[in-house]
Amino acid sequence: MCRSIKVLREGAVPLSDEEFRAAALQFVRKISGYRKPSRANEHSFETAVDEIATVSSKLLHSLEYRVLKPR
């Protein structure tokens, strides 16, 4: 996959909806090959971005993070 896709999982730092949407947009652009879809494909493109942003948010909010004890 593309190395330039940003990792969102940092644990302690809460992420905004805009950050999830930006990552989803980058992913959809990569897999679809469209930077900006045609009008005929715009609805499908935007729906995919919204759904991926939602499921990504659910995933990261459900993960458990281990807190390392200082030595």
Q: Give pTM, 2 decimals.
A: 0.78
Q: Over the stretch 15-71, which tens digit does the pLDDT of each residue have?
A: 889 999 999 999 999 999 999 999 999 999 999 999 999 999 999 888 887 776 676
Identify the pLDDT of residue 70: 72
List, as one string, the DSSP characters of 4-71: TSPP---SSS---HHHHHHHHHHHHHHHH--SS--HHHHHHHHHHHHHHHHHHHHHHHH---PPPPP-
Identify the pLDDT of residue 29: 95
DSSP state of 13: S
Higher pLDDT, 31 or 11: 31
